[in-house]
Amino acid sequence: MVNIAVMGHGVVGSGVAEILLSHADSISKKAKKQINIKHILDLRDFDGLSYSDKFTKDFRKIADDDEVLVVAEVMGGINPAYDYVKECLLKGKSVVTSNKELVATKGAELLKIAQDNNVNFLFEASVGGGIPVLRPMAQCMAANEMTEIFGILNGTTNFILTKMVKENLSFETALKMAQDLGYAERNPDADVLGHDACRKICILASLGFGKHVYPEQVKATGITEITLEDVDYADKLGYVIKLIGHCAKLSSDKIAASVYPALVPRDNMLSGVNDVYNAVVVKGDATDDVMFYGKGAGKLPTASAVVADIIDCVKHLQTRKYLFWEDGCKDYVEAQENVPTRLYVRLSKTDNSVVSQIKALFGDETAILNNTVANEIVFITAKQVEKELTNKIQKLQNCKVEAILHAID
């Protein structure tokens, strides 16, 4: 039997306990050992559960218990999660976590501590909820050099955008629905402002390219400015709007990484990823595109990934799983304005010279939609370095810029 502890009994933590208890027999067969939850750390009281006797409010009960070999951290946030995880690793306990903020901010340091102490630090649940993506990237795609990783990384915003696109609901109404269904984080800012997707693209880029990418190095734009007008124009042009996390290798010592709402063509597979589902496309130099798809948020999908990591740790108590990246460095991530992209631009116009100005600046082939009723014009540029595109947009006269979004192929 292997004793474990679970730190946090919120949405994910209660799902971890539920799966470990309800699937105990099949899990012990897969782990080749019985897994016993010895302690659950939470400051709240949980009376009336079949496992209420396991709760403690004192982290020392876990840290100082030499019988606890694996700890699942599902509290979220940096404090006190970082101190707790670090101490557990230093004391020779393997740690699994769903905490993307912790991994995106402190991943390189915690991986190094795990390595030095010959224990495992696994975090499959931190990206894509229930989708297996980090382990397949690190193990099944180990033969590849990764060149690009992108996708829909946040379930809440994908749910909101799906409701806006398919049911014409406003951003506010769709957000309320996401909160009522328990998808949105306690503070929806992390989701709707793009911070959550930013942390996930940092983890994917760090693992994919081998060097830590910190959230403050990545420009992240959320979906709060997306309007039903833009959803409608995108539809008329053959696109849907999705929040995309993207990173790509630019050279041996430079990558691009960003998060932005983007127009996705209807014939791109990401356009069909709806509701709380996520999809991650990993481009390896041998495999080309590999796509991972599934539920990116929610209690049981996320708990499924945490429990799988617990099983992996239990099976590898004496062996380190290969999962590692080195510390990051300044200037590793190229400024977004220097990265080639396509832009969708919506203008309100005062006269019809704007169409010829757009053609002169952006080329005759530019996709233009002229809405004479609303006196607005939208167009999508060809791919060019972003600051060159924004310089051209500034040259447009007799019009006002209402919205600029990215567009992908």
Chain positions contacting ligand HSE, by CB under 6 A: 129, 154-156, 183, 185, 191, 196, 296-297
Shortest Cβ 51–ligand HSE spacing (Å):
25
Cα Rg for the chain, rounded, in angstroms? 23
Q: How far apart are CA 262 and CA 382, in angstroms?
A: 14
Q: β-pairing, 55-56 with 35-41?
A: parallel
- CA-wise closest residue to 178 among 296, 340, 16, 33: 296
Q: How far apart are CA 192 and CA 195, in angstroms?
A: 8
Shortest Cβ 225–ligand HSE spacing (Å):
19
Closest to ligand HSE by CB, 137 vs 377, is: 137
Residue with tokens 């946030």: 77
DSSP classification of residue 5:
E
Q: Which of 54, 93, 106, 200 is catalytic?
A: 200
Shortest Cβ 185–ligand HSE spacing (Å):
5
Catalytic annotation present for 236: no
Closest to ligand HSE by CB, 183 vs 379, is: 183
Tell me the CA distances in angstroms from 93 to 6, 33, 105, one per residue in order: 12, 17, 21
DSSP-based three-state secondary structure for 382: coil
Closest to ligand HSE by CB, 165 vs 343, is: 165
Strands of 238-304 (E only): list them. Answer: 239-251, 254-265, 277-284, 288-295
DSSP-based three-state secondary structure for 126: helix
Closest to ligand HSE by CB, 284 vs 294, is: 294
Shortest Cβ 152–ligand HSE spacing (Å):
9
Closest to ligand HSE by CB, 183 vs 239, is: 183
DSSP-based three-state secondary structure for 307: helix
The tally of CA atoms less than 13 A away on the side-chain side of residue 13 is 23
Q: How far apart are CA 369 and CA 344, in angstroms?
A: 11
- CA-wise closest residue to 250 among 329, 148, 328, 341: 148
For 384, the enclosing helix (H) or strand (E) is strand 384-385
Closest to ligand HSE by CB, 62 vs 72, is: 72
Closest to ligand HSE by CB, 196 vs 230, is: 196
Question: Which residues are CB-neighbours of 116 under 8 A, at least 6 positions away?
Answer: none
Give burial (CB, 10 Å; 0-12/13-18/19+) of 172: exposed
Question: Which residues are CB-neighbours of 47 under 8 A, at least 6 positions away?
Answer: none
Q: What does residue 22 show for φ and ψ, rounded to 5 degrees?
A: -75, -25
Catalytic sites, residue numbers? 200
